[in-house]
């Protein structure tokens, strides 16, 4: 598969992922104080998270979302991240939306980026997700998201 043009790589910022110790408390803060709305909530056993996607009241196709990520166990990725960060919440990941995750992954691999999984895994709302290790990205955990075909965006 040939490399893509840079303009074809990312559609927009899909979401910013916040690690939180307690999902209900975090939802309360972000809805009651900051005015976000809960768009979707689910448990993803494979990723070890209970998560909620938050959007603005007037959500358009390319509005970024906030993803609240609470750990299912202390050994999960988010559990370990929280332990390393003093148990407090914080920004854990930045997620870019893509149209064709397989093509984007192939291009990034050609450019020397280390991706975590051989094949994309299932993310929120039936999306396909992949991550680039922070060592290749200037210290940020980058996620790629290809929304499910029937998703609103
Ligand atoms: C670790 N490091 C980070 C980081 N986590 N840097 C920036 N952002 C993060 N979130 C750095 C850490 O400071 C170390 O740097 C190095 O990476 C190794 O750290 P570690 O504590 O040993 O961490 P690991 O290697 O156990 O885990 C790091 C990886 C892990 C990236 C492998 O977080 C991972 O598998 N992430 C992908 C899956 C994920 O995040 N799932 C939860 C969200 P130094 O000290 O070596 O310089 S699920 C989700 O997003 C869903 C469902 C969705 O979007 O739909």
Q: What is the DSSP string of 15-59?
A: EEEEE-S-HHHHHHIIIIIT--EEEEEEEETTTTEEEEEEE-TT-
Mean of the per-residue pLDDT values for the chain? 94
Other CB atoms within a 10 A radius of the CB of residue 104 amount to 21
Atom number in ligand 1 closest to CA 77: 33
Three-state DSSP at 79 gives helix
pLDDT of residue 133 exceeding 90: yes
pLDDT of residue 8 exceeding 70: yes
Task: Write down the pLDDT at residue 152.
Answer: 55
pTM, full prediction: 0.95
Atom number in ligand 1 closest to CA 140: 7
For residue 149, give every residue at least 6 positions away whose Cβ sits within 8 Å of its Cβ, in sequence order, or none: none
Rounded to the nearest angstrom, the distance between the alpha carbon of 5 and the centre of ligand 1 is: 28
**Residue linked to tokens 């290809």:** 146
Rounded to the nearest angstrom, the distance between the alpha carbon of 68 and the centre of ligand 1 is: 15
pLDDT of residue 10 exceeding 70: yes
Mutate which of 53, 74, 77, 136 for ligand 1? The one with the most ligand atoms within 8 Å of its CB, which is 77
Other CB atoms within a 10 A radius of the CB of residue 52 amount to 25
Atom number in ligand 1 closest to CA 92: 10
Other CB atoms within a 10 A radius of the CB of residue 73 amount to 9
């Amino acid at each position: 598969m040939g490399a893509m043009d840079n303009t074809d790589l990312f559609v927009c910022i899909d979401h910013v992922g916040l690690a939180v110790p307690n999902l209900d408390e975090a939802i309360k803060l972000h809805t009651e104080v900051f005015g976000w709305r809960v768009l979707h909530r689910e448990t993803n056993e494979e990723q070890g998270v209970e998560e909620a996607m938050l959007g603005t009241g007037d959500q358009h196709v390319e509005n970024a979302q906030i993803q609240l990520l609470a750990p299912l166990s202390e050994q999960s990725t988010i559990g370990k991240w929280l332990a390393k960060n003093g148990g407090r919440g914080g920004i854990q990941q930045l997620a870019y939306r893509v149209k064709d995750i397989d093509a984007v992954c192939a291009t990034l691999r050609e450019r020397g980026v280390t991706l975590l999984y051989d094949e994309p895994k299932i993310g929120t709302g039936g999306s396909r997700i992949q991550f680039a290790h922070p060592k290749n990205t200037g210290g940020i955990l980058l996620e790629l998201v290809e929304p499910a075909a029937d998703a609103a965006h």
